[in-house]
Amino acid sequence: MIAFGPVPSRRLGRSLGINNIPDKVCSYACVYCQIGRTLKMYVERRPFYPTEFIFEEVKKKVEEAKIRNETIDYLTFVPDGEPTLDVNLGKEVELLKSLDIPLAILTNSSLVWMEEVREDLLGFDFISLKVDAVTDEVWRRINRPHRRLKLERILEGMLELRKEFKGRLVTETMLIDWDGYGKEFERVAEFLGELRPDKAYIAVPTRPPCERWVKPAREETINRVFQTFAKVLGEDRVEYLIGYEGNAFALTGDVVEDLLSVTAVHPMRESAVREFLNKANANWSIIEGLLKEGKLMKLEYRGENFYMRRLPSRGDKSQTD
C-alpha cells in the first residue's frame, strides 16, 4: 500500500502516510526496528515505484478523505525503509505540492551527507532527523549502518541541511535499555545544541523490536536524557514520544486522562502538577491514586520531583531467544 491514513500523529496532527520504499529496504539495521530486520541494505539511491503511480495513489486517498470530511494536516513520507533511498523523491515532492497540503518526511538521516538528498529535502515543510548517537561505537551498536556510511559525514550533512532548510526541523533519539551509553547522552545534547532543532523528541520502542533482547529504556534513563537535552535546548524544545498513539494529546475534559496525556509527552514538575490540579478543582488524592495504580510514577532529579506516565511497553515479561 503506497498511501494510508490519515492517522493521528503526535508530531503532525492528522497525517496521510506515503510508503515509497518496499519492506524492508534500508541503509540501517537498527536493533530496535519495529518493522523488522533489514532485508536489503543499500546506500545507493534508486527508483522503487513509478513517480506518477505514487502521486495518483496519494491523490486518490486525499480525495477519499475530502469526501468523508477528514482533515489532513500533512502528507508524510514514512515508509517501510529509508525514504531518501528513493532517487525520485524530489520529483514526487514537486508533484505532491499540487495537492496544496504540507509535506513531511521521517528519515534516519543516513544519506543527508549527499548534496542531492539535501536538495530533495528542501522541498519539504517538516523534516524529522534520527539522532540516536554521535560517536561511532554507539552508532554502530544501535543503528548497525551500512559499512560504507561514515557518521562524521552524516552529522556534517545534518548541520548543512539546517543552514539551508527554512521549514520545521525536529530530531528523534531512540533509547533502549543498554549499559553501554556512557556519556553519549551528553554528547548528543551538545550536537543538538549546534543543530538547533525546533523540537528534540525522545522515543522508546513501543512495539516488538527486531532483536528480541532489546527493551525500552527505563523511566529513570528517559528522564535523565530529557533533563540533559533540556539543559542545552530548553524544556519547551524537548518532548517525549513514547507511545499512547491516538490519545497522547487528547483534551478529554477528564482530569485523569488529561494528566496522563500530558505526562506521556512531557515530565511535569510537582509544582506544575499542583497548579494543574488547582485549575481542574481537583486534589492531590488523584496523584496518589495514579501512583498506587502504577499509571504514574514519581522521579527525582536535582532535588525536584517530576511525574511521568509509566510505560506500558516495559511490562514484566522478558524476551528470550
HEC readout, the chain:
CCEEEEEEECCCEEEEEECCCCCCEECECCCCCCCCCCCEECCCCECCCCHHHHHHHHHHHHHHHHHCCCCCCEEEECCCCCHHHECCHHHHHHHHHHHCCCEEEEECCCCCCCHHHHHHHCCCCEEEEECCCCCHHHHHHHCCECCCCCHHHHHHHHHHHHHHCCCEEEEEEECECCCCCCCHHHHHHHHHHHHCCCEEEEECCCCCCCCCCCCECCHHHHHHHHHHHHHHHCHHHEEEECCCCCCCCCCCCCHHHHHHHHHHHCCEEHHHHHHHHHHCCCCCHHHHHHHHHCCEEEEEECCEEEEEECCCCCCCCCCCC
Beta-strand relationship, 304-309 and 296-301:
antiparallel
C-alpha cell at 102: 504540507
pLDDT digits (tens, 9 = 90+) for 77-135: 988 789 999 999 999 999 999 999 999 999 999 999 999 999 999 999 999 999 999 99
C-alpha cell at 249: 494529546
Separation of alpha carbons 211 and 213, rounded Å? 6
Strand partners, 176: 216
pLDDT digits (tens, 9 = 90+) for 207-228: 667 788 888 899 889 999 999 9
One digit per residue, the tens of pLDDT, for the chain of length 321 reads 788 878 777 788 888 889 899 878 999 999 998 777 888 899 999 999 999 999 999 999 899 888 878 889 999 998 878 999 999 999 999 999 999 999 999 999 999 999 999 999 999 999 999 999 999 999 999 999 999 999 999 999 999 999 999 999 999 999 999 999 999 999 999 999 999 999 999 998 876 677 888 888 998 899 999 999 999 999 999 998 865 443 333 333 578 877 876 676 556 778 888 888 888 888 999 999 999 998 888 877 557 788 877 755 334 332 222
**CATH code of the region 3-242:** 3.20.20.70
**Comma-separated ranges of CATH 3.20.20.70 domains in the chain:** 3-242
Please name which of 142, 129, 108, 110 lies closest in space to residue 32, comparing C-alpha atoms: 142
Predicted model pTM: 0.79
Contact 269, 257 (CB under 8 A): no
**Comma-separated ranges of CATH 1.10.10.10 domains in the chain:** 248-313
Please name which of 126, 125, 225, 127 lies closest in space to residue 174, comparing C-alpha atoms: 225
Could you tell me the fold of the domain covering 248-313?
A: Arc Repressor Mutant, subunit A (1.10.10)
pLDDT of residue 320: 23
Separation of alpha carbons 286 and 280, rounded Å? 11
pLDDT of residue 249: 32
Grid cell 539551508 is found at 164
